[in-house]
Structure 1
């Protein structure tokens, strides 16, 4: 088990190119927690004059004092650390009075949203620091954050005081399915999909798997046993992120049990409706929860736990914590193995939707809109629309092996449901697809005009 540096060549090249620019640089690097931002910046900052600063939720003064200590260390000046400084502007002003070097300095503020939470006006402060000092210095300022929503609104957004100052930005995303074999070279595509279903493409989690153990052996050792990193990771993240973690626990438990609308979450938790909306919005910003609307609709949506680790943990680990505490590991493992195919059915849908968005499959259309559709008792797993050419693809996803006749029945059902989907019904061109673990008779089905994909097409 090790932390591999996988699929970050583009990000590193971007950072190095910006660093080599003789002009000052102001970059925003963001992405969900554990996706590898800090690892990326650590690798980039090697052999550079760099101050890496991890922002905390302590007081603003505590953050300033820690940054002052790091600056003093880079300057090699104990006198600097003894200065009485109580604001960020003074801190940078005095730093450049002491600094007489010529090398480009990299300032990295990791988890910058924590400073925003401490002081809402901090973006105006950093605007002043950039405009009045850093923009004329040989520096590279990097702000990073895991709260996607906060970074996009408070740092990148049009109304942010920092708007127009940045010279570049990069959203660090999960590693793609094609890179999983670098972590787990002996795994079949079916097992790789299972891994994706429980941890997604998060390098910090993929590195916890034992490449020589089977998927379910890893499940038993890395997720179920007390003291293991993945056994407590979601709980620790919630406690670290939120002061009201009990309420977030309640909401995520409700979603895991299928209470997937605002009203249902309110009824299950007993929390105020206004508070529920606020909590859900925060969870969306952290990419833990996702709000899904039926494609083409503006209301009637549902909430799901989007983050695979949180989804798995609240489905299987949290409800079985009593047995885990008593070390009844085999009993918990048996429960998970029994219910896992049902759980994977939903996660496989999300994986297939993601692969369609990334144009992994050869499709008859170039999708401009992709989503799920439901109406009353009817549901279609994925619909992809080509708004320009009026093409529409209806797709059914199954985490199972399918015979030719079973697949044909799915296509017949899809055709009936597609008539209920109101979108350019008079002029659209319709296509039908099934994605499954294994589909027998793929060539014959393709010759009939259907689009069929199984795990052989995931490689």
Structure 2
């Protein structure tokens, strides 16, 4: 099925864990728990649903909604009573009065001598709304659930809370293993949409690899063709996904939203973000930025160099959200009055400069996955370098560690234009910046969308090589 392109690895992991439950039947504790986390709308629930449908095992799939503890308890009872668990009638005969009783009854409803699956989706809602939920879950798991041949899948979109669930000194610590589900990667997107490497990378920057948005992209269509259709469809996932995700994590009037808009508009330094967010106090900005970073919505980065630096910069971590904050949200009113053509022309005018900056994190991550190769060694840290005044700015810095390196592995530049190759002028600029950063003859690297027209580089990479880094 189209939405599961690129999920082969994750389905295999789920199959392997369930197989380990089957192999442990008859043992004292055959049960296994897997904690699945990933940002909203990356397809966690769909992945689990596909896994369940492929199998032949009884299961229950419960999704918390963020309601009160009592309403959630009623919803769980209803879901179990309609499930394929062999003793689901227990919840109908005598509905549990509290969550402790519900977890005990759930264990009784599971088969004793054959595998089953229990899915609790959006676990962070229960952690937030049900008093002592983690402790109750830990006791139920240790005393009852793990003694059944069950695979317990705990799924959540709040990354920080899902990490906390399994962290040291929390009740459920080390009870489950973790599976992080990311968006579809550029290679997945290229296969799914029948796109050549340059176009696949463009699609990755627009969709962020979110399956619901990728499904709206007609195979072989250009960015402009996709946007033409999406901007004229008020229910398009491109338009509504970001707002729904943000509304679930941040109240509409929260200061975090204002700070996120400022960063999304292109501001990267603390001072400029404060100004763009309406001149807010630095203490308020610090709290908002910390929350955004904690939620993995924003990345806070320091330059990589041989000396310490305090020049922290912020960027929106998700490519799709970055696109949406730049081009969609500020102009939603004209899109809603069916003037998406105006939005499209604005995107066309700003596309080249926006894409040139947006592609840099993807290039860095691709190189980190690709190396070592024949030209460059294994490089534990790939980032960038900048000064406060930006008189020196280097797109790519490979080093032994970050942000304060002991040794630099390479320096590089990204040129991502339609028909302008990396040339001798670009090389000369990179050489000048290297001389300002270090006296050593650190290897020079270039990444270009349109090829290379100079000699003197130690390594070069184009769209095809970048996509190879993501191949299964």
Give the structure-1-normalised TM-score. Answer: 0.88
The verdict on how the C-alpha distance between 1:48 and 1:409 changes in structure 2, with shifts beyond 3 A counting, is same
How many residues in Structure 1 have an aligned counterpart in Structure 2? 446
Q: Secondary structure at the match of 1:53?
A: strand
Tell me, in whole angstroms, the C-alpha distance in 2 between the residues paired with 1:380 and 1:3.
Answer: 39
Question: Is the contact between residue 29 and residue 170 of structure 1 (CA under 8 Å) also seen in structure 2?
Answer: yes
> How far is the alpha carbon of 1:58 from its aligned partner?
0.6
Which of 358, 372, 386 in structure 1 is aligned with 2:400? 386
User: Which runs of structure 2 are paired with 1:66-145 in the superposition (5 Å)?
Assistant: 66-73=75-82, 74-75=85-86, 80-81=91-92, 83=94, 85-97=96-108, 102-119=113-130, 121-145=132-156
The verdict on how the C-alpha distance between 1:339 and 1:69 changes in structure 2, with shifts beyond 3 A counting, is same
The verdict on how the C-alpha distance between 1:175 and 1:76 changes in structure 2, with shifts beyond 3 A counting, is same
Which of 170, 174, 192 in structure 2 is aligned with 1:164? 174
Question: Is the contact between residue 402 and residue 436 of structure 1 (CA under 8 Å) also seen in structure 2?
Answer: no
> How far is the alpha carbon of 1:350 from its aligned partner?
1.6
Match of 2:237 in 1: 229
Match of 2:212 in 1: 204
Match of 1:302 in 2: 313
Question: Is the contact between residue 391 and residue 429 of structure 1 (CA under 8 Å) also seen in structure 2?
Answer: no
Could you tell which deviates more after superposition, 238-247 or 57-66?
238-247
Q: Secondary structure at the match of 2:396?
A: strand
The verdict on how the C-alpha distance between 1:147 and 1:285 changes in structure 2, with shifts beyond 3 A counting, is farther
The verdict on how the C-alpha distance between 1:210 and 1:65 changes in structure 2, with shifts beyond 3 A counting, is same
Q: Secondary structure at the match of 1:303?
A: strand
User: Which runs of structure 2 are paired with 1:343-358 in the superposition (5 Å)?
Assistant: 343-358=354-369
> How far is the alpha carbon of 1:336 from its aligned partner?
0.9
Tell me, in whole angstroms, the C-alpha distance in 1 between the residues paired with 2:41 and 2:166.
Answer: 21
Mark the runs of 5 or more structure 1 residues left unpaired by the alignment: none
The verdict on how the C-alpha distance between 1:100 and 1:172 changes in structure 2, with shifts beyond 3 A counting, is closer
Q: Secondary structure at the match of 2:296?
A: coil
Could you tell which deviates more after superposition, 362-371 or 388-397?
388-397
Tell me, in whole angstroms, the C-alpha distance in 2 between the residues paired with 1:147 and 1:95.
Answer: 25
Give the structure-2-normalised TM-score. Answer: 0.86
Deviation per CA, 1:401-424: give whole Å up to 9, x if none: 5767x62222222222223336xx
Cα-Cα RMSD = 2.6
Match of 1:4 in 2: 3
Tell me, in whole angstroms, the C-alpha distance in 1 between the residues paired with 2:310 and 2:11.
Answer: 41
Which of 214, 228, 242 in structure 1 is aligned with 2:250? 242
Q: Secondary structure at the match of 1:165?
A: coil
> How far is the alpha carbon of 1:75 from its aligned partner?
4.8
Mark the runs of 5 or more structure 2 residues left unpaired by the alignment: 25-29, 468-472
